Amino acid sequence: MDFPYYPINDFGPLMKGMVIGGVGIVHVFLAQFAIGGGILLCVFQWLAMTGRSKLAREFVDGYFRWLVLISFVLGALTGVAIWLTTIQISPRTIGLMVQEFHWLWATEWTFFCLEVGSGYAFYRYGPRLPDRTRLGLLMSYSFASWMSLFWINGILSWQLTPAQWLEDHTVWSGFFNPSFWPSLIFRTITALAEAGLFACLVINLVKAWTRAEKKEMLHRAFYFLAPMAAMPLVGFWYFAVVPDDSRRWVMGESVAMTMFMMLGVGTSLLIGCYAVFMIFNRRNFISAMTSLLLIALAMGATAGGEFVREGMRKPYTVRNVLYCNSVTEEEIARLRIEGCAIHDPYPLKDAAEIPTEQLRLGAKVYRLQCSICHTVDGANGILGLTRTWTPGQMRLNIAQLQRTKPFMPPFAGTAQELEALVQWLAWREAESPATWETSDRPEVLRQIQAHLDEVGTVSGLELMHNKLGDGKSAKAAQSQP
Ligand code: HEC
């Protein structure tokens, strides 16, 4: 048996995706700040060296301390936290990413080492060093941190648009996938904007400067928000290369995604308006409180953007290869015959409280196939979603899960397992009574089998494309955007 069983953790009432998302969004935000911050410091160091600004050198030292504190301490901690949570929640996906791109991860880590090395050197010796060395260290710091974005971005964007890689499985066609460039450029613009906003906060905190001095520096910092003008263009580019089913969800077919998208666009627009206001009117001032508020808005924009990017990939963690519940497209047909739970080596936590064998099987099926995106009665709780359904409706809709909602994977088990799941849901809904009749009527199982066979193991996205009659399969649609 080569289907890998990893232990499955449960974070209810939180959905697992929310756990990764919570850590991920904070990390992305801090990491982008580190990248933009490095570039911003290079520019300010250059301003100081060329005599364009008397205050720039002092600013560089002050800002750098914040940058190091936030990006090294919080950034590194949340970075480790991402590895920790993702391997708890989705070990098979992480395994596949490491397997396909191990040398690129290794390369990324060498840049991270360079970033830490030059950052630490600047932190320790910066104030005593001559200007040229300072600039050198800052350039090496920001180059290294941007390069770590470069490498990670290729691996993350591959998850949504593997395109050519699906045919040839080479590292480089996976890495330079269709969404690589737009997302790299978009993140770089975001990084610069974040760095500019943090600069406003730091400038406000310098006690020694007069209001006029602060104003001069604030206006310089705001130029780092100017590239945001290109965001709509790069955004369109991104949405032009993502699979069109994903785009449809964002454009309204999945309203939660649409709303998060609007949150991202709306907050970015507000920040952009403020930037225009600052850049074109030299008399304006921005206080520490306003800077903080803008930083919070930027965090909201990041949250919206990351939610959409991750959500768009459903039902896959690696498109057309691996479903979110760690079953591959290819394995489903086999699991429909063999069953998904027969070799699951892990006992149920509450096995003693479950009265029958069938219900215990149902609990395992839920844990293996559904618990990655659902909780029982918390966020996206499965009991709530099925509360009004009849048993027949439940059997049909779960057997044809990919038709029920194309962002769910096809059911990957036997008719017996499906019935066990239905019974377990009914038993939980009935508040887990001490006895429960086993359901094993052959005509029910035959009916479930017929439902399963009717749609087969084709993914919901493939079905969507066929129905739209655009003549393109889901795979073809994403390699030729
Ligand atoms: C890739 C993530 C994912 C997986 C895996 C998944 N679901 Fe879902 N499911 C969702 C999302 C997202 C929704 C939409 C919830 C909403 O509309 O509020 C949903 C909705 C549902 C609904 C309600 C459908 C409707 O039309 O109202 C049911 C029932 C359901 N899931 C059952 C299951 C079962 C049973 C499994 C396991 C065999 C499962 N899901 C696996 C993500 C998933």
Q: How far apart are CA 383 and CA 387, in angstroms?
A: 6
pTM of the predicted protein model = 0.93
Task: With a cut of 80, say whether residue 122 has pLDDT above it.
Answer: yes
How far is residue 271's CA from residue 189's CA, in Å, rounded to a whole number? 13
Distance CA 381, CA 371 (A): 10
- Residues 321-337: pLDDT tens digits? 999 999 999 999 999 99
Mean pLDDT, rounded, for 199-217: 94
> In which band, very low, low, confident or very high, does the pLDDT at 219 lie, cut at 50, 70 and 90?
very high
Backbone angles phi, psi at 400, to 5 degrees: -115, 50
Ligand 1 atom with minimal separation from the 314 CA: 1
Give the mean pLDDT of 354-381: 96
Cβ contacts of residue 311 below 8 Å, gap of 6+? 249, 254, 256, 257, 260
Whole-number percent of the chain with pLDDT over 90:
88
Q: Residue 311: pLDDT above 70?
A: yes
Of 160, 317, 367, 373, the residue with max ligand 1 atoms within 8 A of its CB, to mutate for a pocket test, comes to: 373
Residue 254 CA: which ligand 1 atom is closest? Answer: 17
Amino acid sitting at position 257: M
Q: In the numeric block, which tokens belong to residue 299?
A: 């965090």
Mutate to test the pocket of ligand 1, among 159, 408, 421, 424 (most ligand atoms within 8 A of CB): 408
405 within ligand 1 shell (Cβ under 6 A): yes
The protein residue whose alpha carbon is closest to atom 36 in ligand 1 is 370
Residue where the block lists tokens 């047909």: 333
Report pLDDT digits (tens) over 277-302: 999 998 899 999 999 999 999 999 99
State the pLDDT at residue 475: 57
Q: Ligand 1: does its nearest atom lie under 6 Å from the Cβ of 382?
A: yes
- DSSP string for 301-336: HHHHHHHHHHHTTTTEEETTTEETTS-BTTHHHHHH
Residue 73 confidence (pLDDT): 84
Q: Which helix (H) or strand (E) holds 147?
A: helix 131-160
pLDDT of 203 over the 90 cut: yes
Ligand 1 close to Cβ of residue 314 (< 6 A): yes
| Residue whose CA is at the smallest distance from ligand 1 atom 8 | 408
